[in-house]
Amino acid sequence: AQSVTQLDSQVPVFEEAPVELRCNYSSSVSVYLFWYVQYPNQGLQLLLKYLSGSTLVESINGFEAEFNKSQTSFHLRKPSVHISDTAEYFCAVSYTGGFKTIFGAGTRLFVKA
Amino acid sequence: NAGVTQTPKFQVLKTGQSMTLQCAQDMNHNSMYWYRQDPGMGLRLIYYSASEGTTDKGEVPNGYNVSRLNKREFSLRLESAAPSQTSVYFCASSSMGTTTYEQYFGPGTRLTVT
C-alpha cells in the first residue's frame, strides 16, 4: 500500500538554529511531492512542491526540500528558524494516475526563544 | 476570491443526531475532498469527488455520505453521529491532470459528538 512516513512526531528547536523534518514515501515510478504547513486553528497551506525538474525546491519563507528518488525521501530543511515557524508540517505524495493524495501523520515543529 | 469555504466552523451534536457540513470552492477546480484530522493520525480521506457527478470512498467512509451538488459544492453528511466522529473536518479542492496537484484547504469544522 502507498504510504508516507514522517519520522519525527515532534521537533523542538531553538530560534535561529537549523532544522530538518524528515519524510519518506513508498516507492513508485512517478510521484508529485508536497509539504504543507498548518498553523494553530487553521487549515493546511501549501509550503512547497516538487512536480518535475530540479530536485531542490524552495519556499518563499526560506524552507527548502530535496527530492531523492533513490532514497524515496523528501526532507524539509531551513537553515535558521524563527518563532513564527512554529506549526505542524505535513508531507504528502500523489502518484501518477491517482486521484488521491496520501498525507503523513505530521511533524510538530516547536521553536523556542 | 474566497478559495475554499466551510460551514459551520464549530458544531456540537448529541449521539444519534444528523448534520451536513457544507463546502464550496470558487477556483473552478475539478476535484474535491473531505478529510478528518485526529491527533497523531494526520489527515484521513473520507470521500472524494474526482469530477462533477462522481464520488468515491476514501480511507474512512463508514458513517458518512457525500453529495457533489455541482462543480463548486461538496457536502458531507453524518446520518447518525457517534462519539468516534468527534474530529476536525477539512474540505479541500484541486485541479487535476493525470495526477492530483496541490490541494487547497478550507478552515475546518470542529465537531464534537457527546
- Between the alpha carbon of residue B54 and those of residues A48, A56, B6, B74, the distances in Å are 29, 36, 20, 11
Q: How confident is the model at residue B57 (pLDDT cuts 50, 70, 90)?
A: very high
Q: How confident is the model at residue A97 (pLDDT cuts 50, 70, 90)?
A: low
DSSP letters, A55-72, are: SEEE-TTS-EEEEETTTT
**What's the pLDDT at A99?**
72
- Alpha-carbon A105 to chain mean position: 11
Does the pLDDT at position A108 exceed 70?
A: yes
Q: Three-state DSSP class for B34?
A: strand
Burial A46-79 (b: 16+ CB within 10 A, else e): bbbbbeeeeeebebeeebebebeeeebbbbbebe
**What's the pLDDT at A56?**
87
**What's the pLDDT at B41?**
83
The residues, ordered by sequence, that sit 6+ positions from B62 with a Cβ below 8 Å of its Cβ are: none
Does the pLDDT at position B78 exceed 80?
A: yes
**What's the pLDDT at B99?**
56
**What's the pLDDT at B36?**
97
Set of chain A residues whose Cβ sits within 8 Å of the Cβ of B102? 34, 46, 49
CB–CB contact A30 B40 (8 Å): no
**What's the pLDDT at B42?**
86
Set of chain B residues whose Cβ sits within 8 Å of the Cβ of A74? none
Q: How confident is the model at residue A64 (pLDDT cuts 50, 70, 90)?
A: very high
Does the pLDDT at position B82 exceed 70?
A: yes
B87-109 pLDDT, tens digit per residue, is: 999 999 998 665 557 899 999 99
| Neighbour tally for B108: CB within 10 Å | 23
**What's the pLDDT at B1?**
72
Q: How far apart are CA B6 and CA B22, in angstroms?
A: 6
Q: How confident is the model at residue A30 (pLDDT cuts 50, 70, 90)?
A: confident
- Nearest Cα to A102, choosing from A2, A1, A6, A27? A2
Does the pLDDT at position A28 exceed 80?
A: no
Residue with more model confidence, B101 or A56: A56
**What's the pLDDT at B49?**
93
Q: Three-state DSSP class for A81?
A: coil
| Neighbour tally for B32: CB within 10 Å | 29
Residues B33-46: what's their mean pLDDT? 91
Does the pLDDT at position A51 exceed 70?
A: yes
Residues A73-97: what's their mean pLDDT? 92
Distance from CA of A67 to the nearest CA of B (A): 16
Q: How far apart are CA B106 and CA A19, in angstroms?
A: 28
CB–CB contact A90 B42 (8 Å): yes
Q: How confident is the model at residue A101 (pLDDT cuts 50, 70, 90)?
A: confident
B42-51 pLDDT, tens digit per residue, is: 899 999 998 8
Distance from CA of B110 to the nearest CA of A (A): 9
CB–CB contact B43 A45 (8 Å): no
Q: H helices then E strands: how many in chain A?
A: 0, 12
